[in-house]
Structure 1
């Protein structure tokens, strides 16, 4: 039950500049028939009426209080608080510094219960079973992501470096350095999944190096805790932290060409190099074939957009964020992007009926967290799109960072020798 009061409605209408003079009423309905869209919250629509005439609708994201274990995870990790902090403190300023609006408008948050945002009804998700983006959609995302990241650089240039209080607001919540955290436990459960799946991949299951791979993969996966920290070497920005296909929405013209792209769901927002977001979405939401064809082009699109945003604000891009830094950081953070993509995709690619069953039952969710994750993922691995995507990511991670078979040339750029060790030693 979502506890929306008349006072809440008045505040929401006032902030959205909607006038009314009659009797107010409202209802809440499902955002979509696909119940798996909201992994860390229930996605709903709030419709407001004035004398029985609809005057506004909003997107409402609520903590799933009816699913105890999901609520515990959200509250323990502070996901709801983090998202509210972003929308209330950072977005109003970043939005003013941007040439486009890269995120939905924020109207209201109630305690630890729900957030009310602009209903992007003219936007759509690029929903397909494989959860991968094509050229046009990924290009649009790179431009929007560059503008979001640029707004963070502009913010610090105009108003000074983020304060300690602001940095605390952006302290890591997705992969905190806490051994007993539910998220840390989740990484360990994910490692168990990867160990089982690797043994199902033909190129490894008969390899004389299989045991070496299985022995090394846990520590490789655990290095994600280093990759998400603010960098001491590279420029940091306010980053999304949860960038994959379902967290991007697109608006199309009458010819079905992309007009706009917006990024949603900021519950993992952090302070890190731009490469963390880019590598994550690159490996979670594209195919290896796409990366081989368009890797360099997409980086150029991203950087040129970033450069234009900085130049418009009188900021020398070559001084603040030179292109060479982007290229170098992409090499350094490739490993982290591959790991994060595996942590995302073994969950986000689960068949919708299976995911819905897990997310909408407290017993099933708790069982999945504690014991059935390996079983469910191995079952999903029989499905081609799930198997193909996870196999591609696992193979790139293993070949490049365990076996080092492709360490000379990685995703179209020359890898610095031993640079994969940099973060573990220096960060």
Structure 2
């Protein structure tokens, strides 16, 4: 066999991420795993290509702040194959507990403004297609859980108890504590109401749904922030933009930031949405005025409070402190696993400081 004339093979390296579900039946009994994996596939197969086609038809650049889905299987255990954006220079924030500064918040809100604005554009320009997609974007997680779901109930009880321990013994905190106690008693009902179909009426948009810092990658050039990549669309849904904004802002910033930049952040988001619609010769005032955005924040921001209470504790805990709930379910069963949710972090004082400031801010703004 002659080998001299053989050409060297070209080697192509693919950097991929495999995102897989648990097959544990006990976990699948209490979490709607199949629904959230199907939702993410629908987002990448239908929603994102539809937005990009709309942009192309108007000679606009496609959305770039998302990884590509290269394959999937929705049989148990479900999995998705995604491009590894870290191979393209994107990185996760080195310290998830560190609040984002205004440059990072602006970049996220610019992308959310564009992303949300594209729903309004689709609604105006291709109403039939928009209606078809909207029918498949109902809440796929929380509203799939029964009222007696032990995981949801345990998480809410533990989280609300943590919040109550954060208040000071003074007049200002007494008002906040009273308002929070009243909220906590109906928190599950408020959650379901905020997420039910049509809750936001004509102001609804498709949300990213899970906008905390670990679901965002950033790209830098000599320490200058130049790009963003959004991850994890399992909780994407059709709902008020206020769900997205309140979750992101309250989870990923601190009170120093909010005191200075909260109103400016909403204005920046609204301006991004306005610029997006102008590309299609559409006027944002026909969809969401700044006044109505504030109304949406007043009506729906308690979703952001619910998520911040849960997620912020996770963000501020060291990785080694967080129990491996899947392993615990396999080894110890449901009861012991639920008990583990009440773990106390060495950063508990920081959590109490941050979450107290969130509740006080909600009271001050009239959101609670």
User: TM above 0.5, one fold?
Assistant: yes
Q: How does 1:211-222 map to 2 (within 5 A)?
A: 216-222=182-188
- Quick one: distance in 1 between partners of 2:117 and 2:177? 44
Please say which of residues 223-232 and 141-150 is displaced more in the overlay: 223-232
Which of the numbers 217, 239, 253 marks the counterpart of 1:286?
253
Q: How does 1:339-350 map to 2 (within 5 A)?
A: 339-350=306-317
Which of the numbers 79, 82, 92 marks the counterpart of 1:125?
92
Q: What is the CA distance between 1:172 and its match in structure 2?
A: 0.9
Q: Deviations over 1:144-180 (max 9, x none)?
A: 1111111211122221056665334212123206535
Q: Deviations over 1:45-70 (max 9, x none)?
A: xxxxx9694432222211133x5544
Aligned counterpart, 1:62: 20
Q: How does 1:386-425 map to 2 (within 5 A)?
A: 386-397=351-362, 400=363, 406=364, 410=365, 415=366
Aligned counterpart, 1:370: 338
In structure 2, the CA distance between the partners of 1:380 and 1:76, relative to structure 1 (3 Å rule), is same
More strand by share: 1
Q: Deviations over 1:291-314 (max 9, x none)?
A: 111011111211111111100111
Aligned counterpart, 2:79: 114
1:300 matches 2:267: yes
Q: Secondary structure at the match of 2:85?
A: coil
Aligned counterpart, 2:216: 248
- TM (norm. structure 2) is 0.83
Q: Secondary structure at the match of 1:203?
A: coil
Q: Secondary structure at the match of 1:216?
A: helix
In structure 2, the CA distance between the partners of 1:303 and 1:209, relative to structure 1 (3 Å rule), is closer
Aligned counterpart, 1:17: none
Aligned counterpart, 1:226: 193
Q: What is the CA distance between 1:233 and its match in structure 2?
A: 4.5
- Quick one: distance in 2 between partners of 1:123 and 1:165? 34
Which of the numbers 135, 154, 158 marks the counterpart of 1:193?
158
Q: How does 1:6-155 map to 2 (within 5 A)?
A: 53-65=11-23, 69-73=26-30, 75-76=32-33, 78-98=35-55, 99=61, 100-112=63-75, 113-121=78-86, 122-155=89-122
Which of the numbers 227, 234, 237 marks the counterpart of 1:270?
237
Q: What is the CA distance between 1:228 and its match in structure 2?
A: 2.3
Q: Secondary structure at the match of 2:103?
A: helix
Q: Secondary structure at the match of 1:260?
A: strand
Please say which of residues 147-156 and 167-176 is displaced more in the overlay: 167-176
Q: Secondary structure at the match of 1:325?
A: helix
Cα root mean square deviation, aligned: 3.1
In structure 2, the CA distance between the partners of 1:202 and 1:385, relative to structure 1 (3 Å rule), is closer
Q: Secondary structure at the match of 2:15?
A: strand
Partners of 1:251 and 1:261 within 8 A in 2: yes
More helix by share: 2
- Quick one: distance in 1 between partners of 2:133 and 2:165? 45
Q: Which runs of 5+ in 1 are unaligned?
A: 1-21, 23-49, 401-405, 421-427
Q: Secondary structure at the match of 2:82?
A: strand
Which of the numbers 127, 135, 143 marks the counterpart of 1:160?
127
Partners of 1:187 and 1:343 within 8 A in 2: no
In structure 2, the CA distance between the partners of 1:363 and 1:252, relative to structure 1 (3 Å rule), is same
Q: What is the CA distance between 1:382 and its match in structure 2?
A: 5.1
- Quick one: distance in 2 between partners of 1:119 and 1:161? 34
Q: Secondary structure at the match of 2:141?
A: coil
Partners of 1:198 and 1:205 within 8 A in 2: no
Question: Higher relative CO (CA 8 A, sep ≥ 6), structure 1 or 2?
Answer: 2
Partners of 1:244 and 1:284 within 8 A in 2: yes
1:324 matches 2:291: yes
